[in-house]
Structure 1
Amino acid sequence: MKLYKSSFIALALAAGVTSCTDYLEQEPPSSLTPENFYTSEDQVQAVANRFYQDIMPGHGGWDYGTYTNDNNTDVQAARTPSVKFSANLWHTAQSEGDWSWGNIRNVNYQLAELKAKLAQNAISGNETNIRQYVGEIYFFRAYAYFDMLKKYGDLPILTEALPDNEAVLVAASHRQPCNEVARFIVNNLDTAITYMKPDFEKRHTRISADAAKLFKSRVALYMGSWLTNFAGTPFVPNGAGWPGAAKNPGYQFPTGSIENEAKYFFETAAAAAEEVAEKYKNSLTINNGVVPQAEGESNPYLELWGTTNCAGKSEILLWREYSKSLGLNNDIEVAVEKGNIGTGVTRSLVERYVMADGKPIYASAYTYDDSEIAKVVENRDPRLQVMLKVPGQVNCFKNVTDDAGTHWTQTEPTPNITNANAEDGYITGYAIRKGMTFDRSLTANGGSYNACVIFRATEALLNYIEAEYMLTKNINSGKILEYWKKVREAAGFTGAAIDPQVTIAATDMTKETLDWGAYTAGELLTDATLYNIRRERSCEFLAEGLRDMDLKRWRAYEQLIKKPVYAEGIHLWNTPMEKWYNDLVADGSSSSNVSQKSISEYHCPHVVNMTNNSYAKGLTWRMAYYLQPLPLRQFLLTAADHASIDQSPMYQNPYWPTETDAPALQ
């Protein structure tokens, strides 16, 4: 999936700033493609290629790429917390960059043109290939819509590129209930699958039917969870105070009730996930427990991410390729050789990994010791053992004489938690090696071309496990245990530890309170099986960008309203690690370089400097933050008089006001 460019296609970019173009980011169709376009297979491919660049995720530039996508959750701390963890820093705005319809509008225009030409039999070339590319474009619409759904909930459902006409655009701005949007996304994916040829492209740099099915399971699991956990609240149709009630009078769920609607989505998720899981369950990459330290040593599990070429790795269903020769680079190797630029793994994540016998750290025959990082990984979940970097380990042993590689560390140092420099500092003291190739030639500034994994088959097994359990609340139902054991075998567990029931039986929910996934609606879970399903996802998907989505659909953030918490890192105080540093200043002043012992024995990076610190009392939450506020300008644009918000067909998200620069109401 190289970042293809084409001189003969110019997809529309951002919206204009005047006239009707502001509504849903319209541009005149003539600005998109020439009149005589879509006449050959290569032109259809060019359209699809461009959407890989515009819509699909990638590593980005000077940072830890997609591995920072779990920042601002309980598993990874950014250097500065998000405003979503403040009581009043997140405000409404006139405009909102995330309320962006350009990609969806472009997809709709391309699909309309392509379908018209297909109906006329006016496109020359291989029909199988043409249909594949059309299927990919349906997938792109689904992907772009899901991104919007997670941010805003209820949305307008648009299937065509609308004309620059105010009346048409205002009518199209009507928001549909979130479950209807999810159904629309699922239907798009079903259509995409019908167009695609199985195993169309062996390298898996193009979207496949399997990737579409996996994504379908993700979307359906998300919506089933959302409807279940937010039932009765303003965040779901017909919940108390649902702001869409007045604009969608008398709305009825297609299945008759919110419970049945959630069931429909869980069934959809389980069925789609099972199709993928059955195909790949015996092809998952095995973690052999090796942390390579010299040429000749390898670990296929680490190499899922620590490579420049994912071709041939059967577990990976879609990946993005970068290229040194084409100048398509990133900074993954630079970041992973050091302190994971821009992110730090938390104590909360580290402690939820079980011990090697499959039991939690407080219930194991092994003793958990976090007095040094090397001890933290002893006798632990094999995934943590290979992912967490330990001082003294070799970070780089390939091409070590390559002078072009200047941002490297041959041996992992003592974590420099006192260095506030974004590039060299360690935010929490913990750093991971996900994405490491051990190759100095990739460590020039901006000189990495590490591959980016987008979908992998293990997610299908975990999606099935959760969806099936939500349907039955029975761990023996369907293929839950079979798939769970497959995941653990691939993770590197052996013996009794492969059986998740060992973990479940030893789980004491009162001792899992550091894990935000242990909560729903502000209450600690009592179902240890459900919690351990959530735990397994978190441990398997380390730094893969799914954590915020999971915490939101589980309604797992709001316990922070009752009890704010600090993001914690290494056990700094009263351990041998305290002696690693001879320049510690911990008085809370602007001169401080570590957090105070009185706050926690664990390093808390967000409260090093307590001067005018909005997070001095910890990370908190507001109910409104589960969804983003709609930009206020949209209400005025769609109001009949362009002045009265109540005349707009749109409505604001729960607990967000319709006033400019105002904080959440609750």
Structure 2
Amino acid sequence: MKTYIGIITFGACLMGGLSSCNDFLDREPLDQVTPEAYFTSEADLSAYTINAYPFPTTDGYLSSSPLLKDNDTDNQAGTSNNSFWMPGQKKVPANAGDWSWTKVRACNYFFDNVLPKYEAGEIQGNSENIKHYIGEMYVIRAYNYYQLLVSLGDLPIVTTALPDIKEDLMEASKRQPRHKVAEFILKDLQTAIDTYLLETPPGGKTRISRDVALLLRARVALFEGTWEKYHAGTAFVPNGNGWPGDKELAADYNPAESIKYFLGEAMKSAKELGDKMYTKLAENTEAPEGMNAGFVSQNPYYTMFCDENMESYDEVIMWRQFKEGLVSHSAQMELCRNGGGSGWTKGMVDSYVMKNGYPIYDSRSGYSYDWENEGVNKTLEGRDSRIVIFTKKPGDVDFYQENGEPSLCAIDYIFGSPASITATTGFIVKKGKHYSSIMASVESRSTSGTVVFRGAEALLAYMEASYEYYSQTGSPRIDETADKYWRALRRRAGVKEDYNITIGATQMTKEAKGDFGAYSHGQLIDATLYNIRRERRNELCAENTRWEDLKRWRACDQLIGQPYRIQGMKFWNTVYSEDADLMSKCVVDPATGNMSNQSLGDYIVPYEKITKNNTIADQGGYLFTPAHYLNPIGMAAFRETAVVDGDFSSSVIYQNPGWKIQADSGPEVVE
């Protein structure tokens, strides 16, 4: 018998280490360990749920860390070209791609077996903890569904672990309109919030809490509300032009009402959490180094992202802990010793205003573009302190040696080899960097924690959702709650609190030169909304949010047929290019170069240091095609869900807009 990939029987995996699992698991559901013998104690539930945690954290090297997940956006530049920006290069996979339901089925299997036992009082242990672990699984299922929603859009909604019966599986594989999927996710989260989750979870902040569910709920609702607003009328929303879904399933879809609903829900969840958090933001002392030689915090805002124990930070809602000898990682090797294969873009650095609140191009800001000739340190002088404390500058402490002496950062990290250690743009990422020589020098000895969720996001979510909500009603405004949240964030950043100074001085045509978020559907947005997006960009840099933001804002259409060249720091005609020792390491060569040619301008062009056989260079920079707003479903999914064997077009599922079914085919390219 065939195994179907729509809502296939993935087998059931006991996440507590009782069996292993992959995308398409053994057919036999728990023949070796029966559900009757499991899910009978609080400990069973605890082990299963925590091993099902899907949240991205630092696993292995820096390249796996959320700190680098925004590489290849307008915020950060990595070391290789991303097919997202090369129309025609991204292909439909031969396998199912992101159309994988292993994680969702593991959640449903839990509910199928746990809820009847819970209702019958057959699970032994602390009753509040048992309830909490059930709540955790609702959050886990919601998060897994959210990742699929971001990637694929319309999805099947399945709440039970289905048996391997062809007819049932084929019917369950049918995709539901995305607004119904988002509503389902919000319902799961609300169930967890209202019925199951504790404010303080067993084990502290390394586990899911009620606050985590609130924040995730705000994130999902904001994503869907803004996606539907900015993709309205297109094939990416129900009943839009070219939408491939079943119109009967979307008969209830009212775009205006749906957008208002999701934005309103985002406001509600964000406010409940934000009102607790806006007075508890980690203190920013603006100390030049986050820790002293004894690893004592000199700036809580900085060390919140690199501490070995993040439990005491009120702003941290959830984090992952590492312990030497048990579980550790190697991210600090790159963060502490080199450039880590990443760097802030010039566009992102330019987006940070001066302390007086004015953009750098405003004559009242006090900024001088001549400062860029003097190097990174001078370029960042007088800015919003976030870009200062989270950028590793020449002369900053990389790490403290065992004798307490500092090892210092050098500008020649821009010529690092191999590429994984290069400071790609010259603006080196410092966010999340510890100061330990052991973490810096020994593989798999990093024990710095990873922030999974933090409270500042709730403030940003409310600010954006409320402004968008009021815009939908015809009266865009910053309400009292958004005002106090925004001032709290600017106060912590060391910027003048009155955001109206920044709004009044904002020139959108200048902001658009370095910020894709200045656009939605190819049009410049208003200055107030832009500055809300700017605040989000500046606060959440290197926290794995930028890709989702650009997609939901439809902030890439302006790159259809119009290339954008990512830049870094100014290198040519500066103190750096006049330094003979530094220049002895500089190689300008189309095949082997470690520096972009001056013919491309004075600023580093990180993706064109090597131009031979380089599609980005041939294009003249980033280009975009709308199909890339969603990922394609892989061909195997159509093969296994075809009504007629061999006829993929008879599948009960449909491909995403702009993509074909055939493996290795590219998207429709709009120019």
TM-score of the superposed pair, with normalisation by structure 1: 0.92
Which residue is equivalent to 1:324? 324
Matched, 1:628 2:610: no
Rounded Cα–Cα distance in structure 2 between residues aligned with 1:88 and 1:429: 30
Alignment equivalent of 1:650, drawn from 627, 641, 653? 653
Alignment of 1:138-287 (within 5 A): 138-193=138-193, 194-201=195-202, 203-244=204-245, 247-249=246-248, 251-253=250-252, 257-287=254-284
Is residue 150–residue 548 contact of structure 2 (8 Å, CA) maintained in 1? yes
Matching of residues 419-568 of structure 1 within 5 Å: 419-443=416-440, 444-473=442-471, 474-493=476-495, 497-513=496-512, 514-525=514-525, 527-568=526-567
Q: Distance in 2 between matches of 1:634 and 1:533?
A: 40
2:644 aligns with 641
The correspondence for 1:13, drawn from 19, 22, 33, is: 22
8 Å Cα contact 2:643/2:652 also seen in 1? no
Written as runs of structure 1 = structure 2, the 5 A alignment for 1:398-409 is 399-400=402-403
SS of equivalent to 1:187: helix
Alpha-carbon spacing, 1:7–1:362, altered in 2? closer, same or farther (3 Å): closer
Q: 1:250 to 1:334 in 2, by over 3 A?
A: closer
* Whole-angstrom CA distance in 1 between matches of 2:117 and 2:22: 24
Structure 1 residue 202 displacement after superposition: 7.0
Task: Give the 3 Å change call, closer, same or farther, for CA 308–398 of structure 1 in structure 2.
Answer: farther
SS at match of 1:49: helix
Aligned residues of 1:12 and 1:31 also touching (Cα < 8 A): no
Offset of residue 416 of structure 1:
2.5
- CA deviations 1:35-94 (Å, max 9, x no partner) are 311111111111112112xx1221011225220111121001110021111121111122
Q: Distance in 2 between matches of 1:28 and 1:12?
A: 11
Offset at residue 592 of structure 1 (A): 2.3
- Cα distance in 1, alignment partners of residues 202 and 354 from structure 2: 40
Give percent identity, aligned residues only.
35
Per-residue deviation at 1:173? 0.7
Partner amino acid for 1:212? Answer: A
Cα 1:642–1:335, aligned 2, differ >3 Å: closer, same or farther?
same
Cα RMSD after superposing both structures: 2.0
Q: Distance in 1 between matches of 2:162 and 2:20?
A: 15
Report the equivalent of 1:405. none
**Residue identity opposite 1:188 in structure 2:** D
Structure 1 distance, partners of 2:613, 2:420, is 25
Q: 1:500 to 1:31 in 2, by over 3 A?
A: farther
Shift of 1:660: 2.6
Deviation at 1:490, TM superposition (A): 1.9
1:378 corresponds to which residue?
Answer: 381
- For 2:205, what is the secondary structure of its paired residue? coil
Distance 1:62 1:33, change over 3 A: farther
User: What is the CA–CA distance in structure 2 between the aligned matches of 1:201 and 1:70, rounded to whole Å?
Assistant: 32
Partner residue of 1:350?
349
The match for 2:592 is 591
Q: Which amino acid aligns with 1:476?
A: I
Q: CA deviation at 1:356?
A: 1.0
Q: Is the 8 Å Cα contact of residues 290 and 297 (structure 1) preserved in structure 2?
A: no
Could you tell me which residue of structure 1 aligns to residue 10 of structure 2?
A: none
Alignment of 1:579 onto 2:568: no
Q: Would the aligned equivalents of 1:27 and 1:164 in 2 still touch at CA under 8 Å? A: no
Does the Cα contact within 8 Å between 1:289 and 1:299 map onto a contact in 2? yes
The equivalent of 1:396 in structure 2 is 399
Per-residue deviation at 1:27?
5.5
Q: Secondary structure at the match of 2:616?
A: coil
In 1, the alpha carbon distance for the partners of 2:206 and 2:123 equals 24
Partner of 2:40: 39
Contact 1:398 1:439 in 2 (8 A): yes
Residue from 373, 386, 390 that aligns with 1:387: 390
Residue 381 (structure 1) shift: 0.4
Q: Which runs of 4+ in 1 moved over 4 A?
A: 5-8, 31-34, 584-588
- Cα deviation 1:610-665 (Å, max 9, x = unaligned): 11211112111111000000111211211121222232110000010122311111
Q: CA 1:370 to 1:201, structure 2 compared with 1: closer, same or farther past 3 Å?
A: farther
Give the drift of 1:398: 6.1
Given residue 638 of structure 1, which amino acid in structure 2 is its aligned partner? T
Contact 2:98/2:152 (8 A) holds in 1: no
Distance 1:560 1:198 in 2: 44
Distance of 2:94 and 2:645 partners within structure 1: 14
Distance 1:391 1:92, change over 3 A: same
Question: Separation in 2 of the partners of 1:149 and 1:335?
Answer: 33
Matches of 1:221 and 1:27, distance apart in 2: 40
> Contact between 1:15 and 1:27, CA under 8 Å: does it hold in 2?
no
Query: Is contact 2:176–2:249 with CA below 8 Å preserved after alignment?
Result: no
Q: Residues 238 and 483 of structure 1: is their aligned pair in 2 closer, same or farther, counting only changes over 3 Å?
A: same
Task: State the Cα deviation string for residues 502-557 of structure 1 (Å, max 9, x = none).
Answer: 110010001112101101112222x0000000000000001000000001000001
C-alpha contact 2:401 2:407 (8 A) present in aligned 1: no
Letter in 2 for 1:396: F
Note the alpha carbon deviations across 1:338-373, whole angstroms, 9 max, x for none: 334232211111110111111101014312432210
Q: What secondary structure sits across from 2:52 in the alignment?
A: helix
2:447 and 2:91 map into 1 onto residues whose CA distance is 38
Checking the alignment, whether the CA contact within 8 Å between 1:286 and 1:492 is kept in structure 2 is no
Give 1:418's aligned residue.
415
Task: Check the 8 A contact 1:485/1:499 in 2, yes or no.
Answer: yes
In the aligned structure 2, how far is the partner of 1:488 from the partner of 1:313?
19
**Structure 1 residue aligned with 2:6:** none
CA change 1:579–1:130 in 2 (3 A) is: same
Residue in structure 1 matched with residue 119 of structure 2 by the alignment: 119
For 2:622, the aligned partner's letter is L
**Distance 1:657-1:42 versus aligned 2 partners, 3 A rule:** same
Q: 1:302 to 1:587 in 2, by over 3 A?
A: closer
Report the count of equivalent residues.
Answer: 637
Provide the residue aligned with 1:104 in structure 2: 104
Q: Does the aligned pair in 2 maintain the 1:585–1:591 contact within 8 Å? A: no
Q: Which amino acid aligns with 1:449?
A: T
CA distance in 1, matches of 2:487, 2:464: 14
Distance between the aligned counterparts of 2:352 and 2:140, measured in 1?
A: 35
Q: Does 1:601 align with 2:610?
A: no
- What SS is found at the alignment partner of 1:598? helix
Aligned partners of 2:342 and 2:422 also within 8 Å:
no
Alignment gaps of 5+ in structure 2? 1-13
Q: How much has 1:385 moved relative to structure 2?
A: 1.4
